[in-house]
Structure 1
Amino acid sequence: MPDDELLTVPEVMRRLKLGRSTVYDLIRSRRLHSLTIGRARRIPASALDTYIRHHLEEAA
């Protein structure tokens, strides 16, 4: 997954196996970084990797 890849909310939902409102809650609480381009919300693949890595470290 290239660092410059931008994911849509539905793509993040599928990868994390979470619902739309949960993903938006993560974005709103700034636990998952995102950017807005026009009206579109995009999540950098590197931000998703960081989020997953952080939660794996917490679980260890």
Structure 2
Amino acid sequence: MIGIGRTKLYELIASGELETVKFGKATRITTASLEEMVRRRRVPRGSCEQ
């Protein structure tokens, strides 16, 4: 959904930045936690990232 690699995904889960839920053996990331992470990391328009 956000185009990150597996290693980075596991880092975000381990740090608590992404919330997971378990369904049997399957682990899923909540849409709300993805949206919240993107919101926190969003760079405002007109800002230059250096």
TM-score above 0.5: yes
Gaps of 5+ in 2: 45-50
3-state SS in 1 of match to 2:19: coil
TM-score by length of 2: 0.71
Pairing partner for 2:21 from 35, 41, 47: 35
Overall identity of the aligned pairs, in %: 30
Bigger radius of gyration? 2
RMSD of aligned residue pairs (Cα, Å): 1.2
Q: Any runs of at least 4 consecutive aligned residues in structure 1 with deviations exceeding 6 A, and if so which?
A: none
Equivalent pairs counted in the alignment come to 44
Q: CA deviation at 1:17?
A: 1.3
- Which protein has greater RCO, CA pairs closer than 8 Å, 6+ apart? 1
Q: Which residue of 1 aligns with 2:47?
A: none
TM-score by length of 1: 0.62
Aligned AA (1:24) = Y
- The structure carrying a bigger helix percent of its residues is 1
